[in-house]
Amino acid sequence: MAVLISSLNVRGLKDNVKRKAIFLFCKEIKANILFLQETHSSKEEETFWKHQWGEGILYSHGTAHSAGVMILFNNFAGKVIDHNSDEAGHWIMVLVDVCEQKIILINVYGYNNRSLNRNMMVNLSKLIVHWSNTYGSTQVITGGDFNLAPNSWLDRQPQRGKQPEYDSIICDFCTATNMMDYWRMTNPNTKKYTWFSPTNKNVCSRLDYWLVSQTISSYYLHFIIWPKSEVEHAETPH
């Protein structure tokens, strides 16, 4: 059974018109599981947002103006076994059962601070090991907006430094959890970006990506980076 997982930084869902447009976009792309970052959600809005989307929604709340992550389920044939999240709205972790395969899914919204980002990734590494031992699953998919470019040359424009340098936070996380940047592994020299400076179009980075465990990499995987124009169209009120 094929499962489509998508990720999108929504830059706030407080506006009712924008939220409806984003929810509609998420259903139109027919993804079964959706990772949303920067939702700016709160406990008080859970019931209303769930009414708009449906029952398949999990939250990790941020503040009215920052952070917040959500996982949405849409025509998902599997089942949720367990879930966990932080109190700052930067990650949510769920264990699902798909065709008797237990998979750990983690939606991440990274900090704009390396020290906080490193602490978060170290804590997630420990939680992954704990869940892997508890539930007997070594299949992990981590995605979202990490606020970290994995490669200083291929994933940044303009390039940084005099030679390619891999981000130590991401490298350490992948080493500790036996994960890999699958899109980069299968596109070793391709340059595609997910973040663009609002003031300078020549400044951009690949900050949004998927890290998958070695055990999942043996499956048939297909990763796509959406054109920025398609997402912007979805966010525009009609």
Question: Angle between the 16-28 and 46-53 helix axes, to the nearest 10 degrees?
Answer: 40
**145: annotated binding-site residue?**
yes
With helix as H, strand as E and coil as C, how does 75-100 read?
Answer: CCCCEEEEEEECCCCCEEEEEEEECC
Copy the structure tokens of residue 214. 């070695």
The CB density around residue 226, as the number of other CB atoms within 10 Å, is 14
Q: Do 36 and 70 form a contact (C-beta atoms < 8 A)?
A: yes
Estimate to the nearest angstrom the gap between the alpha carbon of 112 and the chain centroid: 16
How far is it, in rounded angstroms, from Cα 109 to Cα 71? 12
Q: Do 199 and 163 form a contact (C-beta atoms < 8 A)?
A: no
Terminal Cα-to-Cα distance of the chain (whole angstroms): 35
Q: Do 141 and 182 form a contact (C-beta atoms < 8 A)?
A: no
How far is it, in rounded angstroms, from Cα 140 to Cα 90? 18
Q: Which amino acid is located at 164 in the chain? A: P
**38: annotated binding-site residue?**
yes
CA torsion 233→3→50→55, rounded to 10°? 160
Return binding residues: 9, 38, 145, 147
Return binding residues for Mg(2+): 9, 38, 145, 147
